[in-house]
Chains A and B, each alone.
Chain A
Amino acid sequence: MNTEKYIKTLIVKKPLKLDCGKTIKDFPIAYETYGSLNSKKDNAILVFHALTGDQFVTGINPVTNKEGWWSYAVGPDKAIDTNKYFVICSNVIGGCMGSYGPSHKDPDQKIFGTNFPVITINDMVNAQYNLLDHFGIEKLFSITGGSMGGMQVLQFISNFPDKSKTVIPIATASSHSAQNIAFNELGRQAITADSNWKDGNYTSKDTNPGKGLAVARMAAHITYLSKKGLQEKFGRKLQEREDLKFGFDADFQIESYLRYQGSVFVDRFDANSYLYITRAMDYFDLGKQFNGNLSEAFKNTNAKFFIISFTSDWLYPTQENKDIVIALNSIGADVGFVEVESDKGHDSFLLDVPDFLSALKNFLDKSYEEN
């Protein structure tokens, strides 16, 4: 599939020194925008995507032909109203939707694979910062994102304290917990155990480690939902059959659902990118960058923070979001916080959760009025 014609890229000429010690330059960042930048250039919102997201936030993703990952939240008259705001989102470096990543070629025209440098959340936001210069934006109106997107939000405002008026980290944490690292490691092991992985040197779509990647996705997908949500949606319902078949076919709907989720994911995602991005999440520990004092990460910013968590999110639970609130309060920062009631687990931020969407909309619109 020729996807390149759908992808806008910015070639970053300036060298970027990565946390691993290597330096990259002349590398592409793939991005998409929605709405229009006003003449004062004060209505831009930089959205950061999560692990498996990409720059196609809303509308139909031209590469996958599916709805963009944040279609519930972003669009005309939606919470992030593109009639009003100019939304920018870019694919993270290490990703596989056009930004510099392991499926790109090295200077010797050989596909990087696992020779691509290990990327961190810090590297991702430093790369994306170039988009501000590209659009001539002095200060963003807001930065937001959920999950790994929220980590980028926190890192961005720490690195560039005067570059956004408002800051909205959603369903996230200032460092990855042991449980989260464990789940990511499970996914990575599934990929590397696939004999097609070949130390990352698979070359074509037909010979990629699709089975391993599908298992990684299936395991991760469970962590995005809640027990109650799963039970209500699937229970013990059988998949297109009257009774158990006494075999290992997908008897239950939940099995069939997970298999489907795994298979569609493989079509759009690169296994090596999955390794790189999960690694970046695991390495994230914003407090550690400031000798264990998370408050120090935010001491130079006057931005207005609004932090949102969800009751049934056990992957990035409310307490981990609250820890960020506490760090901000201890330095007298302007911070609001709400825990939204939802049975939809970590995925709540991607779904139609009216209390979440109205809180997001109200916070943005009221803050913009005060501009």
Chain B
Amino acid sequence: MKNEFQVIADLIEKDKKVLDVGCADGTLMKFLKDNKNINIRGLEISKERVQECIAKGLTVIEGNAEKDLKQFPDKSFDYVILSQTLQAFLNPELVLDELLRVGKKAIVTIPNFGYWKVRFHLLFKGTMPITKTLPDEWYNTPNLHMCTIKDFFHFVKSKDIKIFKSLALNNLNSSIINQSNLGVKNLFADLGIFLIEK
């Protein structure tokens, strides 16, 4: 169980209705279903991952978040989760708008391009950074729109999206991000977790 998933689970109350967008093999869904009695659905683009979810007894819809979120009515889920996928969409802004339309709240996690190891990698090696949360080479990465915690923080503010909670994650430690420590967290966290609402 990834620490990220534990932090996400802690953000959600019991017995809620949740959609996991890009749910992959369903690990997080299974955890939420078993531990918090959450009525959870997944949306996943990969046929193989969909099969893995079905084998776990999870309700999953094969589909593409950029096209298929529109079939869900407004505020039809208590929470919509998007784990480390926002940067891989052609149009992240549109996906974010959809998440906040479909969910009463959304939980978005982003790999932080401002993390010091990322900065050092580019600064000293002069090649595209590869870290735990950014494991792929430049030529095969699915990521199109990398951003930093600071970028995302400013972005949601500019869109009048309410941030309920923002957490910086570094290995096993999570800590609160606020306006005053943003610069530091942006340097020392490799993952940002945001609970937002519009």
Interface residues of A (CB under 8 A from B): 304, 306, 325-326, 329-330, 332, 334-341, 355, 358-359, 362-363, 366-367, 369-370
Contact = CB atoms under 8 A, between A and B. Distances in A.
A336 B60 contact: yes
Given A334-B41, A362-B55, 13 more contacts: A304-B59, A329-B71, A330-B73, A335-B59, A336-B58, A337-B63, A338-B51, A338-B60, A359-B54, A362-B57, A366-B55, A367-B57, A369-B57
24 contacts: A304-B59, A306-B54, A325-B61, A329-B72, A330-B71, A334-B41, A334-B59, A335-B59, A336-B58, A336-B60, A337-B63, A338-B47, A338-B50, A338-B54, A338-B62, A339-B47, A355-B47, A358-B51, A359-B54, A362-B54, A362-B55, A362-B57, A366-B56, A369-B57
A169 to B, nearest CB: 14
B76 interface: yes
Interface in B17-43: 17, 41
Contacts, number: 56
Contacts of A363: 54
Given A355-B51, A358-B51, A336 B59 contact: yes
Contacts of B55: 358, 362, 366
Contact of B57 (A325, A339, A340, A366): A366
Contacts of A334: 41, 59
B195 to A, nearest CB: 22
**Binding site of B, secondary structure by majority: helix, strand, loop or mixed?**
mixed
A320 to B, nearest CB: 15
A338 B50 CA distance: 7
A334 to B, nearest CB: 6
Contacts of A337: 60-63
A110 B152 CA distance: 78
Contacts of A326: 71
A366 B33 CA distance: 14
Contacts of B61: 325, 329, 335-337
Contacts of A332: 17, 73, 76
Interface in B34-89: 41, 47, 50-51, 54-63, 71-73, 76
Contact of A325 (B47, B54, B71): B71
Contact of B54 (A329, A330, A336): A336
A342 to B, nearest CB: 11
B47 A341 contact: yes
B35 to A, nearest CB: 16
A312 to B, nearest CB: 14
A370 B61 CA distance: 20
A170 to B, nearest CB: 14
Contacts of A306: 54
A341 B51 CA distance: 12
A334 B40 CA distance: 9
Nearest to A365: B57
Nearest to B47: A341
Nearest to B39: A334
Most central of B56, B57, B58 by chain A CB within 10 Å: B57
